Amino acid sequence: MTTSSATEVSDASELRHQLVEQLRANSHIRSAAVERAFRTVPRHAFAPEVPLPSAYADDIVATRHSGDGTITSSLSAPWLQADMLEVARIQPGHRVLEIGSGGYNAALIAELVGPTGYVTTLDIDPVVTERAARFLRETGYSQVSVVTADAEHLPSKVVPEGRFDAIVVTVDTWDLPWIDALAEGGRLVAPLRLHGYHWAIGFTKGEGALHSDEPLIICGFVAIQGDGAWNKNRRTVPGAGVRLFWEDGTPLPVDQLALALTREPTVTRTSITVGGQEPFDLLTLYLAGALPGFCRLEVDPDDDHQVLNPPPQHWPAAAIVRGASLARLAHERIGDGDDGEGRYEFVVHGYGDHGHLAAQEMAEHVEHWQRNHRGARCPFITARPAVGRAPADTDHEPHLFAKKHTHITVDWPIVPVRAACPTVPGKCDAR
């Protein structure tokens, strides 16, 4: 342990147990094994640069930055680590690969696999692996194997005979190039990016593909680097002070939209409402898969924007492009709501000559989602290796996201809003 005084150690263990109580109360820790791991591993020893209370706050600890100040490595937030470890269903004796190192999460996994299992943690950044290896040694977890490599090209010598029983990806990834390294029946948990939205998803490997069966967890991680880094399609619409970005599908004719975005939009109402504190990220995932030409629109903070009714800067709105016209999802306050947090109606703003048609198309999909899928916390996600498959036609095949290594399909169960799936992770039955 890196702590020096007895008081510090006892403070640390007190803070650690408090954190565990909080994670249990919020259902992030749900099993005795994960609870024991969190009670055992001294998180502060993996983040010596921050004061003890920060090491045991339910928040990330940034540990490395790039030249422009972007965080490139961190200890992830404990609530998310707990959720992902629960979803990984790691058992004693398992062989586990962690992608993205920091040391702490690898130590938690080492506790879960016990002396008969083993853990490999891999990171692209030698400074991170040097640090993780040192902290793991100092805390008594030197059995964890620490490897420096780009996870896009998993070195074959890292993969055990019989492959991994579980792979825990702790870096925001656009693709899943690790299916081959996972044993049949094994679990893979990854924060996967689908059209700019990040979801921690638990998969089981069956017949060579990955199948999800738990509610998705909305999350944020540092972006993957190296050959798997996703090169963002982010373009400013000239003269409109608006940026569009899209991650999957056909490139968009951004330059044609300038005129449309500086004109008064039409407003198409949906009569579908949402509470001020109610998440609706699954609606945006639904729209991203259902509508070709999907993108996200945000106001460029550096531009003197002229777009009418701009969306809040930190909330990129779901949008679709139709030639020189565009529609974007917005919401209008219609009352206070039962909880005083406001009640909002989804409306769709249409820009350009055919904006009203695009808005109507989007509004119809919002209504379809409301009628059929609003209660679904568990869209079923399947990732199949892209090799050997016909090229994907994402414009005509709804809910298909074509990546470099995988084709990912999202299958929406029919769950009307009143029969909602559980909102905390746990196996989903409704398909």
Ligand X SMILES: C[S@@+](CC[C@H](N)C(=O)[O-])C[C@H]1O[C@@H](n2cnc3c(N)ncnc32)[C@H](O)[C@@H]1O
Virtual CA dihedral for 164, 407, 71, 137, nearest 10 degrees? Answer: 0
Closer residue to ligand X in complex, CB, 15/122: 122
Q: How many residues line the site for ligand X (CB under 6 A)?
A: 29
Q: Does 284 bind ligand X (CB under 6 A)?
A: no
Amino acid at 214: E
Contact range with ligand X by CB under 6 A, out of 219-227, 262-270, 362-370, 388-396: 219-227
In the numeric block, the tokens 């979801």 are attached to: 199
Q: Which of 83, 111, 152, 298 touches ligand X by CB under 6 A?
A: 152
In terms of residues, how long is the chain?
431
Work out how close the CB of 378 gets to ligand X at its nearest, in angstroms, rounded to a whole number: 25
Catalytically active residues, by annotation:
76
Q: Does 99 bind ligand X (CB under 6 A)?
A: yes
**Closest by Cα among 112, 115, 137, 123 to 46:** 137
Interacting residues of 393 by C-beta distance below 8 A, sequence separation 6+: none
Closer residue to ligand X in complex, CB, 151/252: 151
Q: Does 151 bind ligand X (CB under 6 A)?
A: yes
**Closest by Cα among 79, 377, 78, 416 to 214:** 377
Contact range with ligand X by CB under 6 A, out of 119-127, 332-340, 345-353, 381-389: 119-127
Q: Does 120 bind ligand X (CB under 6 A)?
A: no
Q: Which of 29, 109, 128, 189 touches ligand X by CB under 6 A?
A: 128
Query: Binders of ligand X among 49-88, rule CB under 6 A?
Result: 72-76
Contact range with ligand X by CB under 6 A, out of 20-28, 117-125, 252-260, 394-402: 117-125
Q: Which of 166, 179, 222, 376 touches ligand X by CB under 6 A?
A: 222
Q: Does 191 bind ligand X (CB under 6 A)?
A: no
Closer residue to ligand X in complex, CB, 151/295: 151
Work out how close the CB of 38 gets to ligand X at its nearest, in angstroms, rounded to a whole number: 13
Closer residue to ligand X in complex, CB, 103/352: 103
Q: Which residues sit at the interface with ligand X, rule CB under 6 A?
A: 72-76, 98-105, 122-125, 128, 150-152, 170-171, 221-222, 224-226, 228
